[in-house]
Chain A
């Protein structure tokens, strides 16, 4: 029998079982070593961000670009639009593949994550070149219906919302799906036996239970939207991030750029606060073990194929069509210049991309695990705050994080010089991949932590307490209790960071040492000069590289089939 206990602090479900005023954890019982570790991680991750903020604050002049007000409004509109879009698409698809059986479902379950593998800077261009005024779609329409045929304005806010929703929905999908698989079964059954219809059980039970995961997914989406520059620029949507770019590159005013970045950071604070709010004061955790799993309902006939079609449509728009277009270009390019396929540097770039992304993913997951674990051991408010601080890096545009890393190390160097330490850190940052890795961790710890934390949230605290009382040391609890139980979250975290890191461009561009080129830099080199056809092949390589972890890890975690038992 599994049963999910939903408790809202202060409103115990059984009289006399809970204290109204009992806080989750108080200081004093935490493990100093683990708490210290979290504080260290937070300090490490916060440093570059703080460096940027300090730079922004200490600047004497305040140079804000014209139209800042409308940039703020546009940013909010974009965030809300994409938030709703991803919620509907991601949440809906997660429900569909979990609650129903239909043709090709087992394959679609993991295929639906693939749009994540598509970098926004590639997708934006592919979409515009396909659907904008000079693209084949509108050209075709004009040739059929004459030059005055009405066509929607693709390069617009709605256009950007649609494209971003189609690429970013997997964040919500992944976390919602994990939540549904991990915790739904018992509660859902309970609701159904209480006479609730499937739909009612979904709205009243599953949705509230999945809320922390949905909130976490949405927070990731919002932060991606906040820091995106490429897509919004393609679509002519002036967000605050575009403002950062404008003042930096157009006004040559780096200080003003840091000031605007601080504004982006404020948005991030709002997003994270919103996430907390959405999680509510309620705590969710699963009691007992994995259940039978949500017994999927078989959809037959046109309903089944209808469900398949829905998934295929989402997948097609966010992945298949752009990949197809890239393929057409790549083949065209290969035909025109067969030599380009055999460039020996392909392999080197590929190795660079994957190795750095893999290391970054591992480091991020280890840090996220450390934080989640330390919190569970009873770190108290300071540790909790510290671990939340680490997620801010995700809301800072990559180029700004990169600059933050540079500033931080420059400051460290001059401090070392003042203290009379010879040598300093030298070119530790830009002389090796350490700078890139560091910036990756700053930026991508958030998705890792969100995913791991969402899994931790589903472990009942009594589980940890039981383990403690059985004499298990914190390390043993991590290895034997927490790690096995948060494995789905760990897998999701690895996938998210890997994919993000493989796609990441501005950080690599800025911090890479001489001779270090990744596939994304290679794409950018070509794309910035508008060699789109030549860029198609490396772009496909990125997509392929980002696809591998999705496939591999989905097999590993067996998110595909909750019925298979772990252990």
Chain B
């Protein structure tokens, strides 16, 4: 989608900065030394498995939790850190929850106006109209939340969060309570509104596609630690860790070897590795299904063990001689029956990610 925004330096104040933020509950570390910066207008997605600390991060920013250590800055102001702690209502942070959390006793307009109580009445009415138009709900202003559909409720929640012009909007799984058909549309609408208003946003999700498709930057978390924070492309194409590689999209791992800049593994030569001229090391290579090519070869020791039809593509699972499996996307028309012997290779022009241990490496590791 949008080109990645380069991290802002000097000239512009970042909308949000987390500096070495740590939070523990009892013995459990929910967030460990988090460092994260969001530029104005940037849309950051937070993703990770259940319990990874993504919701904690969001709550820390919102002021619903207090960090044990570290500093949080919003639009340049320290909101948490040292002795400073600003309660949520002073943070200029907008919140959108999965359950929308609309006030059931207030109309749509009253919900949206809730955060504008310090505004003069005329201005407030204008602002409410403005944001409701933004989410295309002007005509429902006098309805009560229970009279709206789930998608409409979600848009009201967004409008309500945007109305006071917050420095950051935090969205906690905002689409997961919506049904599948509605979700794509609401997601697109939401992102459009955030873009249109140039709002800095942090969105927590557990949906990889969602994280990759709408984020300017994707933050992958596990066990309270940020594994990688990068553009969607980088996260997918150059995962920083074994975990990121497997969590963000399908990936198979094969033991491999680099000798004199040549990467080889069970399926033969994979590619050259520039800059690894004078080394001889064992690595793991990350192979994604779209990088794996199959050709019919009765002589091959590898054979197809499963075929899944996905519409445009067909996913083939191939068992190698070693017993390891690889997956491969084949175009719509290609379907090798189970048991077919196939030769496995890597699509030309690929620079696969190499792992030593669980970490990705770009430089040859020092000799032991």
Contacts and interface: CB of A to CB of B under 8 A. Distances in A.
Direct A–B contact present (CB less than 8 angstroms):
yes
Contact of A472 (B66, B89, B206): B89
A387 to B, nearest CB: 20
B50 A466 contact: no
A21 B25 contact: yes
In this complex, the member of A463, A468, A476, A565 whose beta carbon has the largest number of chain B beta carbons within 10 angstroms is A468
B200 to A, nearest CB: 14
A3 B177 CA distance: 10
Best-buried of A378, A465, A471 by chain B (most CB within 10 Å): A471
A470 interface: yes
B111 to A, nearest CB: 9
A186 B157 CA distance: 20
Given A17-B50, A28-B66, A289-B146, 13 more contacts: A1-B150, A2-B146, A17-B98, A21-B25, A29-B65, A29-B87, A289-B104, A462-B98, A466-B103, A469-B63, A469-B95, A469-B166, A472-B89
Interface of B: 25-26, 28, 30, 49-51, 53, 55-56, 62-66, 85, 87-95, 97-106, 114-115, 117-118, 144-146, 148-150, 153, 157, 160-161, 163-164, 166, 170, 173, 176-177, 206
B105 A470 contact: no
B105 A289 contact: yes
A469 B206 CA distance: 23
A465 B103 contact: no
Contacts of B117: 471-472, 476
A485 interface: yes
A22 interface: yes
Given A15-B206, A288-B100, A469 B30 contact: no
A18 B172 CA distance: 11
A283 interface: no
Contacts of B55: 17-19, 22
Contacts of B144: 289, 565, 567
Nearest to A287: B99
Given A19-B56, A20-B50, A470 B114 contact: yes
Q: Which of A1, A16, A378 has the most CB of B within 10 A?
A: A16
A29 B63 contact: yes
B74 to A, nearest CB: 12
A288 B102 contact: yes
Contacts of A20: 50-51
Contact of B105 (A1, A28, A567): A567
A31 interface: yes
A489 B157 CA distance: 26
B89 A470 contact: yes
The list of the 8 closest CB pairs from A to B, nearest first, reads A289-B104, A16-B206, A470-B115, A289-B146, A28-B66, A462-B101, A468-B88, A469-B95
A413 B103 CA distance: 49
B149 A1 contact: yes
- Most chain B beta-carbon neighbours within 10 Å: one of A23, A462, A467, A470: A470
A290 B103 CA distance: 10
A486 to B, nearest CB: 11
A185 to B, nearest CB: 9
Interface in A27-47: 28-29, 31
Nearest to A378: B64
A390 B26 CA distance: 27
Contacts of B114: 467, 470, 472, 480
Nearest to A17: B173
A103 to B, nearest CB: 30
Contacts of B30: 19, 21-22
Contact of B153 (A1, A17, A481, A485): A1
Contacts of B25: 21-23, 26
Given A18-B50, A481-B103, A468 B63 contact: yes
Nearest to B23: A26
A20 B88 CA distance: 24
A450 B184 CA distance: 43
A290 B56 contact: no
Interface string A128-145: 000000000000000000
A233 interface: no
Interface of A: 1-3, 5, 12, 14-23, 26, 28-29, 31, 287-291, 378, 460, 462-463, 465-473, 476, 480-481, 484-485, 565-567
B90 A465 contact: no
Given A463-B101, A472-B117, A476-B117, A29 B66 contact: yes
Contacts of B100: 287-288
A281 B62 CA distance: 26
Nearest to A28: B66
Contacts of B150: 1
23 contacts: A1-B150, A3-B99, A17-B98, A17-B173, A21-B30, A23-B26, A31-B87, A378-B64, A462-B95, A462-B98, A466-B95, A466-B103, A466-B157, A466-B161, A467-B103, A469-B88, A469-B95, A470-B94, A470-B114, A471-B118, A471-B164, A472-B89, A485-B105
Nearest to A468: B88
B227 to A, nearest CB: 16
A288 B51 contact: no
A16 B49 CA distance: 6
Choose among B85, B92, B146 the residue with the greatest number of A CB atoms under 10 Å from its CB. B146
A469 B62 contact: yes
A114 to B, nearest CB: 30
Contacts of A14: 176, 206
B97 A466 contact: yes
Nearest to B99: A287
A2 B150 CA distance: 9
- Residue in B99, B115, B153, B160 whose Cβ sees the most chain A Cβ within 10 Å: B99
B28 A26 contact: no
B123 to A, nearest CB: 15
A467 B170 CA distance: 14
B105 to A, nearest CB: 5
Given A14-B176, A29-B64, A29-B66, A470 B164 contact: yes
B89 A288 contact: no
A469 B93 contact: yes
B276 to A, nearest CB: 38
A3 B170 CA distance: 23
A467 B106 CA distance: 12
A18 B49 CA distance: 10
A480 to B, nearest CB: 7
Nearest to A472: B89
A288 B50 contact: no
Contacts of B160: 466, 470
B145 A473 contact: no
Given A1-B150, A20-B50, A29-B66, A484 B115 contact: no
B75 to A, nearest CB: 15
Contacts of A378: 64
Contacts of A22: 25, 30, 55-56
B90 A471 contact: yes
Contacts of A480: 103, 114
A12 B161 CA distance: 26
Contacts of A290: 104, 146
Contact of A473 (B49, B89, B176): B89
B146 A567 contact: no
Contacts of B163: 470
A2 B25 CA distance: 33
B146 A1 contact: yes
B28 A466 contact: no
Nearest to A480: B114
B145 A288 contact: yes
